[in-house]
Amino acid sequence: MSMRTVDWSTLRPRSQESADEGLRERKKRLMRQQLSDTATAMFLERGFEAVRVAEIAQACGVSEKTVFNYFPTKESLVLDLGEATMNSLRQTLADPGLAPVEAALAILDQELKDITSWLAAQADAVEAKVVLMRFGRLVRSTPSLRAYQRDMTDRLVAEAAEILASRAGLSQDDPEPQIAAIALLGLWSVQFQALRRHLGRDVAPERLHQAVTADVMRAARLIDTGLHVLGTAGETDRSEQAG
């Protein structure tokens, strides 16, 4: 399986598509995917630093300016799925019918399904796993990609803290929503690490999903008790101030 033949677009959440999507919006979405997929393939083949944005633009038949119209930085070309996670947080974590941990687990499960479904659809599952592991090594071995990933995590934590604060009647700057958001986003790190560990095993995609989910659930149980009391934090804080 060549890096250039990997269909990365199938790893993207279907929610990025819309039933009422117009032709203009569809063309923009597909161009964004083409730019990211092409860049990812080139980075995997040659290394992140060895590929210039101008080369990616040329491979896609567009100008360098067009690339930056879609992606503000070179790093965002390859780590573009963080925005999908951001959108999922805004929709699912804000749902009052779901406890915070339940909401996070729902998002994580869908993201994991995207990966394991992609693996199951490949003609050579072993080689597909190798591609995913190479992608992980690319991110870990590139300082600018690690920095971009940390910045995206900080943005996700800030968004989660704002949503959790609103649910609990607190300020985003209060300590409770801050630590709750950090704990919730830590589940993404657990899933990434579990996926990395279990990808090296000779298991079918369905078993891979089960193994990774089991690790995430262990971590989720550890923080669930603390997050259950988040909703009462606002009342406690107001009571102490009144006293």
Residue 1 is assigned to a structural domain of this protein: no
158 and 38 share a domain?
Answer: no
Domain that holds residue 39: 12-73
194 and 131 share a domain?
Answer: yes
Dihedral (CA of 102, 105, 109, 110) sign:
positive
Residue 6 is assigned to a structural domain of this protein: no
CATH number for the domain spanning 62: value is 1.10.10.60
Burial class of residue 242 (count of CB atoms within 10 Å of its CB; 0-12, 13-18, 19+) = exposed
**Which residues make Cβ contacts (< 8 Å) with residue 145, sequence separation at least 6?**
48, 75, 78, 79, 138, 139
Residue 108 is assigned to a structural domain of this protein: yes
Residue finishing a domain among 73, 92, 126? 73
Q: Residue 215: phi, psi to the nearest 5?
A: -65, -45
90 and 50 share a domain?
Answer: no
Name the domain count of the chain. Answer: 2
The residue with tokens 């032709």 is: 23
pTM, 2 dp: 0.83
pLDDT digits (tens, 9 = 90+) for 175-229: 999 999 999 999 999 999 999 999 988 889 999 999 999 999 999 998 887 676 6
132 and 231 share a domain?
Answer: yes
63 and 148 share a domain?
Answer: no
106 and 215 share a domain?
Answer: yes
Residue finishing a domain among 22, 48, 73? 73
| pLDDT, one tens digit for every residue, the chain (243 residues) | 444 445 555 565 544 555 567 888 889 989 999 999 999 999 999 999 999 999 999 999 999 999 999 999 999 999 988 888 999 999 999 999 999 999 999 999 999 999 999 898 888 888 889 889 999 999 999 999 999 999 999 999 999 999 999 998 999 889 999 999 999 999 999 999 999 999 988 889 999 999 999 999 999 998 887 676 665 655 555 444 544
Go through 72-105 and write b for each residue having 16 or more CB atoms within 10 A of its CB, e for each that does not. eebbbbbbbbbebbeebbeebbeeeeebbbbbbb
Residue 55 is assigned to a structural domain of this protein: yes
The answer to whether 212 and 179 have CB atoms below 8 angstroms apart is: no
110 and 196 share a domain?
Answer: yes
231 and 132 share a domain?
Answer: yes
95 and 61 share a domain?
Answer: no
Residue finishing a domain among 73, 91, 111? 73
What are the counts of helices (DSSP H) followed by strands (DSSP E) for the chain? 11, 0
58 and 147 share a domain?
Answer: no
Residue 143 is assigned to a structural domain of this protein: yes
CA 163 to CA 201: how far, in whole Å? 37
CA 165 to CA 181: how far, in whole Å? 9
For 172, the token pair is: 């985003």
Residue 220 is assigned to a structural domain of this protein: yes
177 and 204 share a domain?
Answer: yes
Residue 65 is assigned to a structural domain of this protein: yes
56 and 113 share a domain?
Answer: no
Selection from 171, 182, 155, 173 nearest residue 100 by Cα:
182
CATH number for the domain spanning 166: value is 1.10.357.10
